Amino acid sequence: MPGIDPAWALAVLLLWARLGSLLTLSPLAQVVKAPSVFWVLFTLALSGTLCAALGLRAPLPDGVGGLSLLILGEAALGTLLGLSLHMAFAALSMAGRLLDLQMGFGMAAVLDPVTRANIPVVGVALTMLGMSAFLGGDGHHALLRGIAQIAQWVPPGAVWRLPDASLLARAMGVMFSMTIVVMAPALFMLLLTELVLDVTSRVLPQMNVLFIGMPVKALVGLSTLAIAAPGMAPALRRLFASVFEFWQGVVP
């Protein structure tokens, strides 16, 4: 019975470290409520499948120190790749947080059972909308194809260099611009609502603007988001496309 190829086993281990750090920053790990053992076994199986299908082998290092450096390098690469995916969904969460403040939902919060942190109410809805668009637009298959291409361009154990700071700045610029695009319709309507409430308070000084304004702003904001949701598709596609553009810039 033939034994296991050490070069193949090392490639699986290194790719496992890369995929583990990538999926840790991925919103998929937060949406799929699975135990940690599932993600450990899933990334290990995916690493073994990719290495077997692509014929990946890694050069054997000199001692434990060399192996540690290889693992750290792969984990750093996976973190860099996962950062862009995390930023794409962080743009939706940021838009929701800003809208929460304008609609008065900032006083309420939802306790995320994964991160144990208070997250915006509208941000959760926009993140779920983005995840639905990502999965519905075959984004998960594109993600797997991107992982396979990165594994071919930068095999496990290969030397890679840090990208230019302009690449990261461009990715962050896309994130902020898409944040503005997503929240612009609701923010504009909320601004008009604030103007109407201010004029009304001048005409009817006995009216409690705070008591009446909060439900009105919540209704206007949520209604505008519901109407504008179908028109967010081009912005979401541009946002997700920026993830793979960043990947291509990291490993040219």
Per-residue model confidence as pLDDT tens digits over 58-78: 878 777 888 888 888 888 888
CB 14 within 8 A of CB 43: no
Of the candidate ranges 133-147, 185-199, 201-215, 232-246, the one whose mean pLDDT is the lowest: 201-215
- Angle in degrees, CA 124, 86, 228, rounded to 5: 45
Of the candidate ranges 29-38, 53-62, 143-152, 240-249, the one whose mean pLDDT is the lowest: 29-38
Range 39-58 average pLDDT: 86
Three-state secondary structure string covering 179-235: HHHHHHHHHHHHHHHHHHHHHHHHHCCCCCHHHHHHHHHHHHHHHHHHHHHHHHHHH
Question: Residue 131 has what pLDDT?
Answer: 83
- pLDDT of 154 above 60: yes
CB 110 within 8 A of CB 121: yes
Beta bridge partners of 118: 111
Burial of 138 from C-beta contacts in 10 A (0-12 / 13-18 / 19+): exposed
Q: Is 116 left (phi over 0), alpha (psi -120 to 50) or beta?
A: left
- pLDDT of 38 above 60: yes
pLDDT > 70 fraction of the chain, expressed in percent and rounded:
90
More confident residue, 106 or 191: 191
| CA dihedral (21, 24, 27, 33) positive or negative | positive
Question: Residue 2 has what pLDDT?
Answer: 55
Kindly report the average pLDDT of the chain as a whole number.
80
| Count of alpha carbons within 13 angstroms of residue 130, beta-carbon side | 31
The Cα-based distances of 225 to 79, 183, 186, 187, 237 in angstroms read 33, 8, 6, 10, 18
In three-state secondary structure terms, 119 is strand
Confidence of residue 116 (pLDDT cuts 50, 70, 90): low
Confidence of residue 117 (pLDDT cuts 50, 70, 90): low
Cβ partners under 8 Å of residue 194, min gap 6: 213, 217
- pLDDT of 94 above 60: yes
pLDDT > 90 fraction of the chain, expressed in percent and rounded:
0
- pLDDT of 1 above 50: no
- pLDDT of 35 above 60: yes
Tens digit of pLDDT for each residue in 163-220?
Answer: 777 777 887 888 888 888 888 888 888 888 888 888 887 777 777 777 777 788 888 8
Q: In the numeric block, which tokens belong to residue 200? A: 């009304």
Beta bridge partners of 119: 110
Tens digit of pLDDT for each residue in 11-22?
Answer: 888 889 888 888
- pLDDT of 221 above 80: yes
